Amino acid sequence: MRAAIAIPTLLGALALAAFCVASVALWQAEQGGGALGAHMSFAVGVVAALFGAAWGLLHVKLLKPLAAVTGELILRSQTRLDRPLAVASGHLLDGLPAAVERLLGALAAARGETQEKVNAATRRAEEQKSRLEAILLNLSEGVIVCNLEHRILLYNQAAARILGAHDALGLARSVFGVLTREPVVLTLELLLQQVEGAHGVGVERGGESIAETAPRRFVCASVDLGTLLQARLSLVHEPSGRSSGYVLTFADVGAELESVAQRDALLAEVAIDWRRPLASLRAAAEMLNEQPRLEADERRVFEEIVGKEVQALNDRFAEVTRRYERLATGPWPLADIHSLDLFRAVRKHLADADGIEVTPVGAPVWIHADSHSLVLALEYLIRAIAKHTATAAFDIGAEMRDKYVYVEVVWAGAPVTSSVIETWLADPLKGSLGNRTVRQIVERHGSELWSQALPEGRNRLRLPLRATERPRARQRPDRVAPMPELYDFDLFNVSSEVVKDTPLRKLNLVVFDTETTGLRPNEGDELLSIGAVRVVNGRILTGETFERLINPGRDIPASTTQIHGITADMVRDKPPAHVVLPQFKSFVGDSVLVAYNAAFDMKFLEMRAGQAGVTFDNPVLDALLLSVYLQQDASDFSLSAAADRLGVEVIARHTALGDAMTTAAIFVKLLDLLSSRGIDTLGQAARISSRMMEQRRQQAQLG
Amino acid sequence: MPRSVLVVDDEANILLSLEFLMRKAGYDVRLARDGEEALAEISRACPDLVLLDVMMPKCNGFDVCEAIRANPEWRNVRVILLTAKGRDIEREKGLALGADDYITKPFSTREVVERVATWLGPSSG
């Protein structure tokens, strides 16, 4: 570089010149020629001038071009400007401007390349997005994508159409505003369990192990209960393999069945409509074959008939084929349906159309069935029993035993004999089922139907159906710390003598459960939700439930969200406890309250009851303490363990309503066991509860 | 006096075989070709046991079974159902309607004799 030689040379020359001038000045002063000061002033002036000249030279040749290059570098790095680098000629920068020019060129090229890649990627993403939009738009199935908090992230037009453009269908809103909760939650639970189970044997993808799960089919209902939907649920995985949400696709079952009906109608039409031309054809053909001595003109008449009828048959065949192809006639397989959805549909239709009151009872279970035809068959049968026995009130329930679920319709009144049922079975069902009979539907489910007398003048119709493979509570260990037991000795005081002597079976009960922000009511934990179900005369009234989310007015620890799945987002627009508690109180009325570890739930209720202006002074029973009394040798008294011992299916664990249902089913089973130990009244059960509480308190102190 | 068995089936060949078997086992045998005939026979003289086919024209086996259980005078009549389907559910229905036992067609002849003997005790003949 020229500057590298030029600058030292210049500075060296300058220093030499300064030294010379100073030496000359000193020498002249020593010769006594004039004053030293004057000589020195001259020398300094000369040196300064030399330095000034040198600085000017440096500024023009070096610093100014350098500043120009720096300025250009800053400008170009910050902008997309593309122009030649302008540096005045004669500079001392040697190859620097050219090198900088090359560097800037390379930068511009790299930038162009990146931009092009970004453009291409954006184009691809746009294409994919519009393709996805087109697919979603053209799908006849409804699609809803949710996160694991069940908030809707995306839905398509078909979803809006099938669900009747529901007001509750919107982004970021809960999917349970439009679809019934239980089937979705349980199917999701099942799939998530499968993922957990498949951990380690998953498919390698990008170095991460991702559990592959097949989508699950099930049947659910729209919240307004108008439509049963055939649905499929599959998980959405993050690149890390964690499940981050799920995709629900669903179709209106009614429409699909309509096409089945049309196909059947077509078949019936063929059977009748083709008879006439076939008869003519056969007659004419036989005449030609078997009457050898026909005159030529007679033969021609019959040959014409054959030709004409063959043509007619041909045309009809083409027409039928065309219509057949227009029908979407997929096979209509059996799918999983939640019994409550099934029974609610039956209840609604019969209440609306026939004024027959159907009460769903018992803990809900999953059934493997052709739900639409099953609803029609059950409606038909209940209608027929109602007419035959002049009864207008029915209980409908499903009991699981071995591999079957027994759907049971119970009424108080005259029995129905097997031969009467036989006549009903042969009756074709009106509706969209292509005139299938009840027998065909029963047989399609590999089942039989019969009626039996029960005690107290009641009768039941039984229809065993296949049970669904269900997630079992014991496969999924409770990850939750055991609830602390609180010892509240006033809890089981029953003041009224009348109530005290009421038989347990005759009590009006409300079985409830709460979800909370934590386990310490005394240290600021609050209610998050209340779920409850009514139990009357030992019947769980599945249709009479209470379920509310509550805004706790504080944060929700992530550790508890893991358990109950309730996030701050879900309760943000929910009312606080002092608004919900009066609603719950009016649901409860003067019923006896039942909970599993009741002291805990009661504590949370009472904490906010004062502020809400209500009191929960109802009699209370504790299913936990009664279980302890009846099963002293058991060690695990978690809700799932108790349910398991009694053969109760655990439903939607850690939702308030799910746990309330499970508790109700446990409590109903406990009633039989209590009765066999001579415990029949509320007073007796309350005394037992107090005794068990004292016993457990002492054990806790010792332990 | 020998124990009496009423065999009810609409299939002539089966009826023939069962009649032969029961006679050979020493029972007093009567026959019926459908449900209505069966009920008429039972009304005429109450048998100790009915071997009852389920799938029959007119009144079927379940109906006959229910009719037998509906009449207190016939409460001592043992009923064994015969059916071609052999599903658990059908067995359960039969038992729910009051049948004592259940034999699935096709059955071994020895099985029939053994079952009948279980319910009636060894034949006296």
Locate A521 and state its tokens: 């009511």
CB pairs under 8 A between A and B: 33
Across the interface, do A418 and B96 touch by the CB < 8 Å criterion?
Answer: no
- Give me the pLDDT at residue A502, please: 86
Q: Is A557 on the interface with B (CB under 8 A)?
A: no
Set of chain B residues whose Cβ sits within 8 Å of the Cβ of A418: 62-63, 65-66, 97
User: A-contacting residues of B 47-76, CB under 8 Å?
Assistant: 59-60, 62-63, 65-66, 70
Residues 6 or more apart whose CB falls under 8 angstroms from that of A408 comprise A395, A396, A397, A398, A399, A460, A461, A462, A463
Residues 6 or more apart whose CB falls under 8 angstroms from that of B104 comprise B82, B83, B84, B85, B86
Residues 6 or more apart whose CB falls under 8 angstroms from that of A467 comprise A365, A366, A367, A368, A400, A403, A404, A405
Set of chain B residues whose Cβ sits within 8 Å of the Cβ of A450: 62, 93, 96-97
User: B-contacting residues of A 407-446, CB under 8 Å?
Assistant: 417-419, 422, 446
> In whole angstroms, how far apart are CA A278 and each of A290, A299, A313, B9?
18, 19, 8, 39
Mutation pick from B64, B89, B93, B95 vs chain A, by most beta carbons of A within 10 Å, is B89
Across the interface, do A404 and B87 touch by the CB < 8 Å criterion?
Answer: no
Q: B50 - beta bridge partners?
A: B6, B79
CB nearest A464 (choices: B59, B66, B89): B89
Instruction: Please give, rounded to a whole number of angstroms, the shortest distance from the CA of B89 to a CA of chain A.
Output: 6
Across the interface, do B89 and A452 touch by the CB < 8 Å criterion?
Answer: no
Chain centroid, CA A77 distance in Å: 49
Q: Cβ–Cβ contacts within 10 Å for residue A123, how many?
A: 10
> Is residue A654 annotated as part of the catalytic site, yes or no?
yes
Set of chain B residues whose Cβ sits within 8 Å of the Cβ of A452: 96-97
- Give me the pLDDT at residue A204, please: 41
Please give the residue that has the higher pLDDT: either B71 or A317.
B71
CB nearest B93 (choices: A417, A419, A448): A448
Mutation pick from A401, A439, A448, A451 vs chain B, by most beta carbons of B within 10 Å, is A448
Set of chain A residues whose Cβ sits within 8 Å of the Cβ of B96: 450, 452, 462
The DSSP H or E segment spanning A78 is helix A64-78
Set of chain B residues whose Cβ sits within 8 Å of the Cβ of A404: 89
Instruction: Please give, rounded to a whole number of angstroms, the shortest distance from the CA of B83 to a CA of chain A.
Output: 13
Across the interface, do B92 and A446 touch by the CB < 8 Å criterion?
Answer: no
- Give me the pLDDT at residue A340, please: 82
- Give me the pLDDT at residue A200, please: 43
Q: Cβ–Cβ contacts within 10 Å for residue A186, how many?
A: 23
Residue B5 has pLDDT above 90, yes or no: yes
- Give me the pLDDT at residue A225, please: 55
Q: A203 - beta bridge partners?
A: A210
- Give me the pLDDT at residue A489, please: 59
Q: Is A447 on the interface with B (CB under 8 A)?
A: yes
CB nearest B89 (choices: A419, A448, A452): A448
Q: Is A464 on the interface with B (CB under 8 A)?
A: yes
Set of chain A residues whose Cβ sits within 8 Å of the Cβ of B66: 417-419
**Farthest CA pair distance, chain A:** 172
List per-block mean pLDDT (blocks of 10 residues) for chain A, which spans 703 residues: 66 77 76 68 81 85 84 79 75 82 86 90 84 75 89 85 76 86 84 68 41 73 75 85 87 68 80 79 84 82 86 81 58 68 86 89 81 86 94 90 86 90 85 71 83 89 79 41 59 71 88 91 89 89 88 88 84 90 92 91 90 90 91 84 84 81 92 90 89 83 69
What is the ipTM score, two decimals?
0.78
Across the interface, do B60 and A448 touch by the CB < 8 Å criterion?
Answer: no
pLDDT digits (tens, 9 = 90+) for B13-60: 888 889 999 999 999 999 999 999 999 999 999 999 999 999 887 788
Q: Is A362 on the interface with B (CB under 8 A)?
A: no
Distance separating alpha carbons of residues A610 and A603, to the nearest angstrom: 12
CB nearest B66 (choices: A417, A447, A448): A417
Distance separating alpha carbons of residues A180 and A196, to the nearest angstrom: 25
The amino acid that residue A145 corresponds to is V
pLDDT digits (tens, 9 = 90+) for A120-156: 998 888 888 777 777 777 777 889 989 988 988 888 8
CB nearest B89 (choices: A417, A422, A447): A447
Distance separating alpha carbons of residues A187 and A193, to the nearest angstrom: 10
